[in-house]
Structure 1
């Protein structure tokens, strides 16, 4: 199935990465984020448009 739809996955870890790969197989364009700069290349090689996100604990604690 070919589609023009793009799906974004926040967190391409143990669950998000296999999900992203499956969605790409189904014809979706996928954007994926990671907190690990080293993983950006892994995402890119898998056909995922990679995005690095940086979350500071102090900022998150203030929002909870």
Structure 2
């Protein structure tokens, strides 16, 4: 099953343009609060770890494939 997830230009670049674009996106999101409240920078995570961003998921009818 395939899902279409709308991406921002920055997110699309992180997928297609390689590690440097992914690092820029992760650096920007490092101060975005998680659903629990703390930002990734505030979480007790080793400096060598890479955190993946969480995005909102919209549920609903996506057309014939969802029926």
Settle same-fold status: TM greater than 0.5.
no
> Which structure has the greater CA radius of gyration?
2
| Larger strand proportion of the pair | 1
Higher RCO (Cα < 8 Å, 6 or more apart) = 1
| Larger helix proportion of the pair | 1
* TM-score, length-scaled by structure 1: 0.29
* TM-score, length-scaled by structure 2: 0.29
